[in-house]
Amino acid sequence: MTSKAGRRLAAGLLVVVLGVGMAVWSLQRQLIYFPDRAAAPAAADVIPGARDLGLRTADGHDLRAWFVPAAEAADLGMAVLLAPGNGGNRLSRAGLAEELSRRGLAVLVMDYRGYGGNPGRPSEDGLAADADAAVAALTDLGYPPDRTIHFGESLGTGVVAALSARTPPAGIVLRSPFTELADVGTHHYPWLPVRLLLRDRFPVVEHLAEGDTPVTVIHGDRDTVVPTELSERVAAEAPALFERVVLTGDHNDSVMFGSPVADAVVRLANHVREQGRG
């Protein structure tokens, strides 16, 4: 190959790489967020005793959420703010909300902007505003942050970690957490300069380091979405780790939404109550 031909090839490759980079930059949120935009049914049609709840964000969005009261016979006097992962909508979290309610915890199941019939498009800053609105709604219902556990699953762990740094709760539960979103992106797209391109960063470990709130980390032993080693690192670096729970299963297996997860949340709730935090 002549030097002239080599330069042409290099220039062509550079154009391709730049083109791919620009495409990823402009479309990256479509690779991060997978909302089910369909309106969720009324809460009472899915969970007996539950009700629909409106959230008003600081940037002017009116969002819909569900509030599930605690079972009266087991009421612990605390609530769980449930921040979902990046797919589906609140309907797919109904089972976990019922499990928590039966164990005596009230639950606010939020849907982010763009999810579950809500207006707007998801982004890191947008989800932060949505979470702040959920905290305000729970406070109005009689559950201020010191009587609330922030529960995040997958992408929601990034939402919850940042929220907890702004507004410390009684406890934090992180299900399938990552250290920061770029680490997940690098795992799935090793051929891309993810750290240079990524706009929404969700630095979980960095936010946890800012506080001393008790943390429970729950993850599967063979997670193919958020690599298990990332969740292990979150647990290792959490300054106030209460418990690490390892379940047999993958990221979206039913066990990750079931009784073992609810039991872990209750253990943390009982711990913070005994410590006088909740």
The runs of H, that is alpha helices, within 33-123 are: 43-46, 94-102
In what order do the strands lie in the sheet containing 62-68?
51-56, 62-68, 105-109, 78-83, 148-153, 171-175, 215-220, 241-247
- Give me the amino acid identity at 117: G
Tokens of 80: 């769980």
Q: How many residues make up the chain in this entry?
A: 278
- Give me the amino acid identity at 49: G
Which residue out of 154, 164, 176, 231 is catalytically annotated? 154
CB 16 within 8 A of CB 23: no
CB 226 within 8 A of CB 251: yes
| 3-class state of residue 128 by DSSP | helix
CB 181 within 8 A of CB 202: yes
- Name the CA dihedral angle for 266, 272, 273, 278, rounded to a multiple of 10 degrees: -100
* Distance, CA of 125 to chain centre: 13
Is residue 251 flagged as an active site residue?
A: yes
CB 89 within 8 A of CB 40: yes
| 3-class state of residue 50 by DSSP | coil
Is residue 223 flagged as an active site residue?
A: yes
CB 185 within 8 A of CB 198: yes
Which residue out of 101, 111, 223, 231 is catalytically annotated? 223
11 Cβ contact partners less than 8 Å away, ≥ 6 residues apart: none
Q: Which of 57, 60, 64, 61 is nearest to 39 (CA)?
A: 64
> Would you name the residues annotated as active-site residues?
154, 223, 251
